[in-house]
């Protein structure tokens, strides 16, 4: 199995309808190819982790890289994993709706409790805390 974590920036302001579309498409596509993960959105920044069979994760990431809704994509990690960190979640999600403390940051703190990978936990928490401070 493979896990890829990346960060990127939206090419324009993201509204709730955009987020709902991204999430619905991700969940549908990921379920088909046994990819799990998490998508976090803070302002116009995305942080996403995807994991699963290497071929499926690489194909998913290839589609993500050419998606015109974002740019400045930076891969934070790309590594083989022995076990999934996100269980059966075809795409855990938080778009930071509402206040960041009650939305994104709280959600990430709860999500991070279940992660065995300390580096992944630090990436997710760092992203959420950065956006909470900027709010």
Using 70 as the pLDDT threshold, list the residues of the chain that sit under it: 88-104, 134-135
Domain that holds residue 64: 2-97
Number of folded domains in the chain?
1
Q: How far apart, in Å, are the Cα atoms of 122 and each of 12, 85, 116, 119?
A: 27, 13, 11, 5
In a domain, 70, yes or no: yes
In a domain, 123, yes or no: no
In a domain, 69, yes or no: yes
pTM over 0.75: yes
In a domain, 126, yes or no: no
pLDDT of amino acid 114 = 81
Q: What is the CATH classification number for the domain harbouring 66?
A: 3.30.70.100
In a domain, 35, yes or no: yes
């Amino acid at each position: 199995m493979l896990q890829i974590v990346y960060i990127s920036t939206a090419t324009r302001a993201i509204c709730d309808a955009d987020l709902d579309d991204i999430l619905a498409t991700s969940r549908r596509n990921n379920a088909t190819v046994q990819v799990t993960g998490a998508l976090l959105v803070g302002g116009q920044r995305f942080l996403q982790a995807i994991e699963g069979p290497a071929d499926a994760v690489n194909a998913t990431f290839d589609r993500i890289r050419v998606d015109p809704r974002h740019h400045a994509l930076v891969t934070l990690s790309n590594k083989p994993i022995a076990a999934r960190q996100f269980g059966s979640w075809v795409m855990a999600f938080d778009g930071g709706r509402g206040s960041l403390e009650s939305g994104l940051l709280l959600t990430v703190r709860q999500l991070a409790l279940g992660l065995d990978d300390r580096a992944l936990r630090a990436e997710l928490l760092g992203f959420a805390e950065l956006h909470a401070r900027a709010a």
